[in-house]
Amino acid sequence: MILQGPVALSAAWRGRHEARAQIIDGRNFRWVQRFTPLLVEADRPCRQSVGGRWFVDETYMKLLGSWRYVYRAVDQYGQVIDVFLSKKRDLRAAAFFANAIRSHGEPAEVTTDRADALVRAIAELLPVVPHATRQYANNRVEADHGRLKASLRPMRDLKRHPTASVIIEGHAFMQNLRRGHYELGVGALPG
């Protein structure tokens, strides 16, 4: 079938416009992959101090047909402390927040669900810190997972583990930035 007249021009224009949009999306995606880790690391000194009560939990996402687990730690003010993407739901993965403990010190209290791996990891890493596993006590981080999943749902480009890990770290950074957990511009000279 041969298209003629305005229909042919419309189809040609639409095809060219869609190809351009895909190129721009690809450039943006590469920019995000390249600069997100640099932004997260550069803004670490500007971050506000972390609260004493930590809520730790895992959620899941599908990455090329297999389930991956996203471990997240959030303080009582809603600041995302640390995130970690794991292929397995085990003790090694649950101990993801050892880096956060080194960076921010020990929390006063940790709240998790009753997941076996998290209970064992906290017993090993923080034997003195109170560990709460009451029903509904972890709702703060459970509700926070929804924002992450809503952002990841439309992204169909997440095919590799490192790519997904960078996107999840970038999401946590942007979430903290929107919530005002960074002291950006403090002490800067006016224009």
Average pLDDT for 112-139: 86
Q: Which two tokens stand for residue 191?
A: 């224009």
Tell me the CATH number for domain 49-178. 3.30.420.10
Task: Give the pLDDT score at 188.
Answer: 59
Which of these ranges, 79-83, 110-114, 128-132, 186-190, has the smallest mean pLDDT? 186-190
Q: State what percent of residues in the chain have pLDDT above 70.
A: 79
Helix (H, G, I), strand (E, B) or coil at 104: helix
Confidence bin at 25 (pLDDT 50/70/90): low
Task: Give the pLDDT score at 39.
Answer: 85
Average pLDDT for 23-42: 75
With CA atoms as reference, report the closest residue to 59 among 43, 31, 83: 83
Q: What is the 3-state secondary structure (H, E, C) of 1-34?
A: CCCCCHHHHHHHHHHHHHHHHHHHHHHHHHHHHH
Average pLDDT for 18-47: 71
Domain ranges of the chain: 7-42, 49-178
DSSP string, 73-141: EEETTS-EEEEEEESS-SHHHHGGGHHHHHHH---SEEE--S-HHHHHHHHHH-SSS-EE--TTTTHHH
* pLDDT tens column, 53-76: 998 888 888 888 888 888 888 998
Helix (H, G, I), strand (E, B) or coil at 122: helix
Task: Give the pLDDT score at 43.
Answer: 82
What is the pairing mode between strands 109-111 and 53-63? parallel
Q: Is the pLDDT of residue 7 over 50?
A: no
Confidence bin at 139 (pLDDT 50/70/90): confident
Q: Is the pLDDT of residue 140 over 60?
A: yes
Task: Give the pLDDT score at 144.
Answer: 75
Cα angle for residues 124, 55, 134 (degrees, 5° grid): 85
